[in-house]
Amino acid sequence: MQTVSENRAFGGVQGVYTHTSEACSCDMTFGLYLPPQAARGPVPVLWYLSGLTCTHENAMIKAGAQGWAARHGLAVVFPDTSPRGEGVADDPHYDLGQGAGFYVNATEAPWAPHFRMWDYVAEELPGLIAEQFAVDPERQAITGHSMGGHGALTLAMGLPGRYASVSAFAPIAHPTSADWGRKQLAAYLGPDEGAWAAHDSTLAMRARGFDGEVLIDQGLSDQFIDTLKPEALGEAMAARRQPGRLRLQKGYDHSYFFVASFMADHVAFHAEALGA
């Protein structure tokens, strides 16, 4: 692992690091914010998964998480959204390939050799961070925006007991029935739609739900709301009587202005679940 940068922020340290990933068979970059409390011992971890076209950097700079994380004593991890580099498959469209990993383990050519973002976020990167930094791997929570909200919800429901809480900002909530989803799941996982179900939060909510609290914010002026399908996930939560809240926010769009506006609520929500 190599240090790219470390900057003082809100009494803690915002770092950027690179390492060679076995899961993705390439070099990967991630951001990690350690609050001032980490100087005294391991702190709980909040994972922030970003959306289409983003790198580790977008949310790290724009989402406004660090100040709230420092207040509650949480580390925040900002992984990249896909493998990158020479020899990594790509596509000319923004919603497939590099920058659009969709947090799945690809099984189809040409994606399978590198696009193993589920294993990277669920196993490899948590192990590396627990080994190298003052974090508590037994206390984790997860959130994300758009494609990252999809990833946060499916990881949380797919790994029971791993995360104390899950939240999402404008998640791709029903990808097996949406333009943002069917194209990517078919490309990465093949034509068998049965293999897609584990990566659809609406279907996962119907099948098993989440063993903790859920918080979702969705802007009603989001230009992609018809593709995101929050109503499908809301109906699944209601039918399952899932503990949690789906909040529809009047006037808000899909941007980081929306994310930053509600970041304090989300960090506090996770801090309470983590006992921070």
Active site residues: 146, 222, 254
Nearest residue to 188 via CA among 83, 109, 94:
109
Tokens 């996982």 belong to 189
Distance (Å, whole) CA 168 – CA 179: 19
Distance (Å, whole) CA 64 – CA 60: 7
Distance (Å, whole) CA 74 – CA 65: 10
> CB of 143 within 8 A of CB of 49?
yes
Q: What is the DSSP letter of 223?
A: T
Backbone angles phi, psi at 32, to 5 degrees: -140, 120
Report the Cα–Cα distance between both ends of the chain, in Å, rounded.
Answer: 28
